[in-house]
Structure 1
């Protein structure tokens, strides 16, 4: 944190948004590398090999059309990623964005959804990598052995974890070769299949391409359509890796979003071409090379490869290349699945949503160390566990992944729409790309999630396993695995976010619930908590009614976060209110408050606190203020002049040694606007404090309308997106008491003047229509003026103020304050002040540079009651 003058003050580390903010290697990837990583993560060859048969069984000849339909929600969600990344390029993606929109608990579940999908998918893809590795070497017996494929899959996970550990650039270079080979072989397969079909050498089930294949209205039923789209959606999943590495991408706010959209479009072309050519060559029969052949449901390329390329000439080599294609696809997917999960966990640690140790970076490679290693270890653990309990790990895991995918993709779509809800009316483009399209994508994903989890996958006959649940009965293993993994996240979320929730609740309870109306000015206050656990706690504002109609204005910031900072803030706020009631000057009050911080009275030992305290007097229009390491307020003149920050000497933060505090006095014309704020309001990831103050100046220049609306406009304009540090804003539009509500007399310091003072006060009360208060006021004036004549030298001043109460003030040059006491029965004096205290509402003393002022306050309701 820094002051407006650029002087640094100590601050606790807070996770920031933006490329390189967390220490990752910024600028390491370009657009091509981002697209490559996105494509590799979807594993096109493996995805087609495992899902094409499932889709064909569901929709028959309309398989290519289903590939197109599944593309639609993916493109909609890709737009959500693009728009959200543009304002917050954080590698936590859904975790961060959902937290911004819906709060830390929902954000945590979004991050957990990514972790669940990636870890379970790793178990599936590692099995494929192990099996195809043996097939590539001609070791079909080992490929059929569950033990050997398990061992090989574990080796692949460990190897890819090591590659991710040594750097994002190494991973990207490897992906370029793997993806280019994969796409080239897929194109070769598609061309060869179509050549066979139309070149006079078709397969036994070959058919010509027809326009009806792309007619969605010919799909047999809604259930067939939904089942097919469910399977097809899974094969599109993975392009968001291009966004998950945004902090390591050049032009991090634009390139990742563009790469995500490009990836989905390229996948549409690849999948539609391959599905069309494969269906044209093999047909959709249940035998031989037919796509609906149950014997090849999880690997349609095994039979199609040799059939398309033949058994003569280059055919066997091309068939072997097809096996290599699926192998490289699974290897690439293994690598790119580790990347987004490791960075999601890394971002969650940076935002204190998981233990901070997961935010550790390698000093040389600038990659997340514990996040990457833990991702590999978790994948191995789930891989071995599922091998031990499931009879068919491939089908069970790949379908359960679909639930996690639909969950966090849909959550991202809804987060985009809700996050931009206030700006959707700015233009048609904003309404479409930030609102309608992401929201529609979220609704589609929500429908797919519910339909799959509670209908299709819940059927105990679906998949290879089922589980008997108490009170429910037998449920399909896919639903149990998918929902069970998400429910584990709910339990962990409640534990992990407990401190954030407690801190936020404490912070809100300690802040003013509402600012009561005050004659000195119109008031509006706003507190905006940070979206992550790392940023909540410490900022506060307050308004304190003082004697003689004056108003105390406070804004402060404990330079720390969490429960301790919120508790410290509450203690300091209470202490400051108590000190303010003593009518201390701002600089003196900050000195006493600093002593409390130094002594650790409120648990703030070792913490620094910035604070600004101002006192506004509506009678004189003067505002006296002092700052302890805090930015000065922004003052907008009543005549519409240029807003400015007054020249306010900024002492050291409370708890930090330095020069003494100094007060500054300003004269504020009526209807002047003064804004007190914390650093979190004006400082953001994409701007410094000075730029933020300039933005706030522009917002406050409008001045028109209720102050609450102006406060909302200021918060929305300055913090429309990520809130990594909590912020407080206090706006005051000053008022002056009319001259006819104040009466002022200079009293000679002689005994005979007491009677004249009483008479003058009585005449003024009659003019104000407050004759009912005359007796008490005469008694107050007599006692206070008599004491001033007796115990002080120099001029005496009597002032009456008619505001929300009748205030009587007597000022003199003495520095001795009277004390309220009970006079003994044989004492002649000492009873005057006691009687005054009994007849009035409040009284007190405040010291000035020339002496002291004793004030007494009587409620005007007393006069009205007497009148009735």
Structure 2
């Protein structure tokens, strides 16, 4: 709370803004200052709720990215950077000026060169304080804020005492009309006053920017944000009422409406309130010191959110990675803190040398960046929590209504301020813009700074957009329905930059109504990882269609990865050195499962440390079956092994990548949280996916996360038939008759001729070339499936028989009469299958 209140610079904010509010609304300035608190309180609730869901020091950048995507998130982060850099220049200049006034060097206080030099020194000093550590920064803030708050209280009490005991000519008694907003002369005046009043509350969000450095980070920063705004309301209401009662609203002398005092009303009031005695002179100097310490405190606390936002953006790959470095001893963002201090110094020197008027207008333009950032945060809170707003009245109010209203008010203020500041007569400068004409310098600088971020955005988000588009195009666009099971999935890409990785999932229809389920995780990030993912997913689909067992499929896929790694480094290699393995696919984890709805059995194998979860249909118990270990793809090691699970109808099988557990305190804790969510496995699968993701990944996704959920079914016995045949040629006629009767029962007589021909050809070949027991199975699914199993291990080959060949035409005829056909091996032999369209 100390940092939150100090960040707003209460003394400096009142000194620089109170005069503007009085000019706009007159005697109603106290109520306007209090009304300005309301939109800030609404936005503070947005910060609190978002912080509770996602305690990331990137605040608006991270939250807007999660809610609306990396482009919107980048603009939110850019808005913070623009506002903080500009206000740093303002605060440093004020601190430099008051440093000279404190020691009586008023001539130097009015010299732009010396105030700029002093401002540069103060930025360097406060950057060093922030660099040394957050605890040292907090300790400094306690002393600075105690002095500031104490002097404001002494000033307010002294002013009110003088009003009722020894009133100056300008004094007026406090009236109830001061607190009636309907007494304001016009709605335009009220809006202008509120617009000016809103900015004196800005800065409390620093407490949320340091959330990751706070004990109980999901609760304490949000509570401090709310209480900080309330404390500011009390402080501003008291001081505004006391100052107006003492000085009045006149336009001369110490009157708050005097244009000559509009940029600093407290310095002039100090000597008038405290008098010319020795004590009065000391208190007047202390009041000047108070404004100085207020500016210094705000300078320091402005560095905190600025450096933390840049740090978070770098962690999420939206800025160069070096800005994400942390000092080993001080545990503070190294490049972010020092770099942003240097940028602020450069901005101050540049605008001071260019024009003092431009600097003044740039300071006023901070309001546009502030309202833009706060509006975006309010809307992000509403959209981020849209799925839980109907859960309770509290969620609806505090996660939806209040943040949405706060965002709407801030958006309206942003639009209004843009048009007000665009008046060529507003501010110290004006710019003649093409197609627009003369425009106020405040709007030109403020919108220009935001538009600069819009121009930079494609450069920093293009890699993410291209990678994510490629990743999305390579993943299944939808999961088609299957007879064997119901499925649902979720894929969460890393937030921004090259963070998008190579996670993938797939549901592959196989022969005999079986279904293959696969999830995989490619090592690395960016475009290469996404392309590698596409290569591996294609390889899995091709190998799966060969009806390979899970362990054999992973072995073949590992061979593919290893071969590709050597080929990529064959060119340009020193012949005397062995090829160095380096491929995005090396080290990939993969879990592959095949479920058979006829037998209810699921065969699985893994590469890496992936594990599935199984939810029992009756008890809801969650178990993580122990699978035989298998090395990641392409790194070599022991062979892969398959294992089989017996799954009851209605069982829920959950496949996921390690990214799903990234927010947990270790793998065991993550699996425990997952088991807790999955215990209610009877829910619809989409709802189960949403609950799992929201519980396990409440914060930013630094690593891609994939979740694939399937609920099993057994094939209805009325939809398949099977026969056991002896290796006797007379069995061919028997099976033809049985097949014809079964198709008649299924009302599929139009397929009887072709099916009899297929069955007789396959059974005849099995009897002639293999012998042993033979099994025939018909399955009526979305197609008619015919399977003939024997004990042989030789795969028949399709070929074109020559005109003088006596055989070799049977399989060719079968291929022409079916939609597809193939062979899969079993522990006891092989199965030849065919599919005919219904």
Which residue of 405, 421, 444 maps to 2:370? 405
1:738-817 mapped onto 2 (5 Å cutoff): 738-817=716-795
- TM-score using structure 2 length: 0.94
* Deviation of the 1:640 alpha carbon: 4.3
Q: Which residue of 2 aligns with 1:730?
A: 708
Task: Check whether the contact 1:547–1:855 (CA below 8 A) recurs between aligned residues.
Answer: yes
1:573 corresponding residue in structure 2? 537
The aligned residue for residue 203 of structure 1 is 168
User: 1: CA distance between counterparts of 2:540 and 2:597?
Assistant: 21
Separation (CA, whole Å) in 1 of partners of 2:695 and 2:224: 29
Pick from 94, 100, 120: which aligns with 1:134?
A: 100
1:656 CA drift (Å): 3.1
- Alignment counterpart, residue 237 of structure 2, candidates 272, 280, 299: 272
Alignment length (residue pairs)? 823
> Any residues of structure 2 matched to 1:237-636 within 5 Å, and which?
237-392=202-357, 395-454=360-419, 456-533=420-497, 535-600=499-564, 604-605=583-584, 607-636=586-615
In the alignment, what sits opposite 2:634?
655
Unpaired segments ≥5 residues, structure 2: 569-581
The alpha carbon displacement at 1:446 in A equals 0.9
- When normalised by structure 1's length, the TM-score is 0.91
Distance 2:693 2:54 in 1: 17
Separation in 2, partners of 1:427, 1:808: 54
Indicate if the aligned counterparts of 2:663 and 2:696 stay in contact, CA closer than 8 A: no
The whole-number CA distance in structure 2 between the counterparts of 1:588 and 1:766 is: 39
Pairs within 5 Å for 1:662-681: 662-681=641-660
**Shift in Å, 1:302:** 2.5
Report if aligned partners of 1:124, 1:393 keep a CA contact under 8 Å in 2. no
Deviations 1:366-386 (A, max 9, x none): 111111111111111211222
- Structure 1 residue 851 and structure 2 residue 829: aligned? yes
Q: What whole-Å deviation, never above 9, does each CA across 1:317-375 have from its counterpart, x for those lacking one?
A: 22222211111111111111111101110111111111110011112111111111111
Alpha-carbon distance between aligned partners in 2 of 1:191 and 1:676, rounded to the nearest angstrom: 67
**Does the 8 A contact of 2:629 with 2:640 survive in 1?**
yes
Give the whole-Å Cα distance in 2 for the aligned partners of 1:418 and 1:62.
Answer: 36
The alpha-carbon deviation at position 688 of structure 1 amounts to: 4.4
| RMSD over aligned Cα atoms | 2.1
Change (3 A) 1:630 1:542: farther
User: In the alignment, does 2:806 pair up with 1:828?
Assistant: yes
Residue 774 of structure 1 deviates from its aligned partner by 3.0
Q: CA deviation at 1:717?
A: 4.6
Q: CA deviation at 1:225?
A: 1.1
Q: Deviations over 1:703-761 (max 9, x none)?
A: 54654444444444544554333322222222323333333233333444434443443
- Indicate the larger mover: 559-568 or 68-77: 559-568
Shift of residue 92, structure 1, vs aligned partner: 1.0
Gap runs ≥5 in structure 1: 1-34, 861-868
Deviation at 1:559, TM superposition (A): 3.3
Q: Is the 8 A contact 1:598 1:605 kept in 2?
A: no
Q: Distance in 1 between matches of 2:614 and 2:727?
A: 41
Note if 1:122 corresponds to 2:88: yes
Measured against aligned partners, the alpha-carbon deviations of 1:542-561 in whole angstroms (never above 9, x if no partner) come to: 11111122111112222333
* Structure 1 range deviating more: 788-797 or 600-609: 600-609
How far apart are 1:96 and its partner, in Å? 1.1
Which residue is 1:163 aligned to? Answer: 129
Report the 3-state secondary structure (helix = DSSP H, G, I; strand = E; otherwise coil) of the residue aligned with 2:488. strand
* Worse-matched range after superposition: 476-485 or 230-239: 230-239
- Counterpart contact for 2:724–2:774, Cα < 8 Å: yes
CA distance in 2 between counterparts of 1:478 and 1:92 reads 27
Paired residue for 1:40?
A: 6
Name the residue aligned to 2:29. Answer: 63
Alpha-carbon distance between aligned partners in 2 of 1:797 and 1:742, rounded to the nearest angstrom: 13
Please list, as runs of the form range in 1=range in 2, the aligned pairs for 1:144-159 lying within 5 A after superposition. Answer: 144-159=110-125
The 3-state SS of whatever aligns with 2:589 is strand
Relative to structure 1, the CA distance from residue 470 to residue 425 in structure 2 (aligned partners, 3 Å threshold; closer, same or farther) is same
Match of 2:622 in 1: 643
Change (3 A) 1:759 1:422: closer
SS state at 2:776 partner: strand
In structure 2, what is the Cα distance between the partners aligned to 1:365 and 1:698? 38
606 and 669 in structure 1: CA distance in 2 versus 1, 3 angstrom threshold: closer
Q: 1:487 to 1:307 in 2, by over 3 A?
A: same
In the alignment, the residues of structure 1 paired with residue 833 and residue 359 of structure 2 have an alpha-carbon distance, to the nearest angstrom, of: 83
**Contact 1:282 1:291 survives alignment (8 Å):** yes
Deviation at residue 630 of structure 1 after TM alignment: 4.5
1:569-598 Cα deviation digits (max 9, x unpaired): 111111100000111001000111122222
1:221 equivalent in structure 2: 186
Alpha-carbon distance change, 232 to 767 in structure 1, aligned in 2, over 3 angstroms: closer
